[in-house]
Amino acid sequence: GDGGGTWYIDLKTEGGSAGFGKPPVTADVIMSMSSADFVKMFTGKLKPTLAFMSGKLRIKGNMTLAIKLEKML
């Protein structure tokens, strides 16, 4: 969507990092969603579990790590 793109959060390397574009390491979890739904989710207007169950949030990879990330955010 408008203003979207590919973003990453790297929690594998010491110190971690976050940014726009291709991640510096291979991802264990890939999450995809529209820009509008992302904003809703991170402003508390859309619960991550509901977004996933309704197909607005797609997750590929290690589901256990995805759940840990939800708790951390």
What fold, for 7-72?
Answer: Nonspecific Lipid-transfer Protein; Chain A (3.30.1050)
CA atoms within 13 A on the CB side of 63: 4
pLDDT at 73: 65
Q: Which two tokens stand for residue 9?
A: 């959060």
Element housing 32 (H / E) = strand 29-32
Domain coordinates of the chain in residue numbers?
7-72
Q: Is the pLDDT of residue 13 over 90?
A: no
Q: What is the percentage of the chain residues whose pLDDT exceeds 70?
A: 95
The reported pTM is 0.78
Q: What size, in residues, is the chain? A: 73
At position 3, the amino acid (one-letter code) is G
Whether 71 has a pLDDT exceeding 80, the answer reads no
Closest CA to 17 of 66, 25, 64: 25
Which DSSP category does 30 fall into? E
